[in-house]
Amino acid sequence: MERALEVLLASAGLTPRGEMIPLGGGDIAAVYRLATGGGDVVVKRDDPRRLAGEADGLRALAAAGSGLGVPEVLAEGEGWLVMEALEVAPRRRRDQAALGEGLRRQHAVTGEAHGWPRDNACGRTPQPNAPLVDGRAFQRERRLLPLAEACQARGLMDQRLRARVEAIAHGLEAWLPDAPASLLHGDLWSGNVLFTPRGPAVIDPAVYRHYPEVDLAMLTLFGAPGEAFLEAYWNGRAPADWPRRETLFQLYPLLNHLLLFGGGYRQAVERAVARLAAYQA
């Protein structure tokens, strides 16, 4: 065990018992489980800026008081993040509705501007969060346009497709109302939702404030949360244009996957762009 980690654990009053056990899913960061005198913890090794952003996000989600489980940050620094290890349990019938209700409460925590006081990362992709008052401008300037530019620069999309993404980004004010900036998980695919004996929990956030449908669109893109979740979340107040918003807010994660994992995601980006263009026809 590295000396820096030993010092970090000691600062949190944790005494290791045994060796670190590698966990699956660490394609971006090295992730381990470690037994300590204070119970099991999860330890991550990664770029210090990404870990600082994750720790900041975990604290913000915990402070929201949504009822969703969030791992407690026990120590962070020197390229290490030490967190509470959550116990995973079989999903219960009630858990999907509880996830929807908890996420609705989380999204009720709003701020004056879209964005976040610090930048963070979605996967390996730097995520700029400099606040903007208008949500349409934030989606355009901080999400769609930077990723379209990055994808073209790496030869992953041609100028025609980039121009279509830019047209969507510049046309948001024509149909998307501005809205209060909700506290988002920011990377809420199904792999970042856990079910524990105490109910649903969330991990690995990329927190910022923006339209609440961002989290929903990620869940429906990379998973199937089910009707019980959606009914509990919407509570009878689903916007009439949810299918259009769902497609819009899936475009950013699709562009990010194109950037991270290559051309296999190009067709998915093209399909999303075509669906959004059809609404304007």
Instruction: Report the C-alpha gap between 162 and 155 in whole angstroms.
Output: 11
Instruction: Examine the residue annotation and report whether 187 is marked as an active-site residue of this protein.
Output: yes
Catalytic-role residue among 46, 56, 95, 187 = 187
Cα–Cα distance list, 205 to 139, 201, 260 (Å): 18, 11, 18
**CB proximity list for 126: less than 8 A, separation 6 or greater:** 119
The string of DSSP letters for the chain reads --HHHHHHHHHTT--B-S--EE-TT-SSSEEEEE-BTT--EEEEE--HHHHHHHHHHHHHHHHTT-S-B-PPEEEEETTEEEEEPPPP-PPPTTHHHHHHHHHHHHHT-EESSBB-SS-EEETTEEE----BSSHHHHIIIIIIHHHHHHHHHTTSS-HHHHHHHHHHHHTGGGT-----EEEE-S---GGGEEEETTEEEE-S---EEE-THHHHHHHHHSS---HHHHHHHHTT---TTHHHHHHHHHHHHHHHHHHHH-GGGHHHHHHHHHHHHHHH-
Q: Which two tokens stand for residue 97?
A: 């509705």
Positive/negative CA dihedral, 210, 213, 215, 221: negative
Tell me the catalytic residues. 187
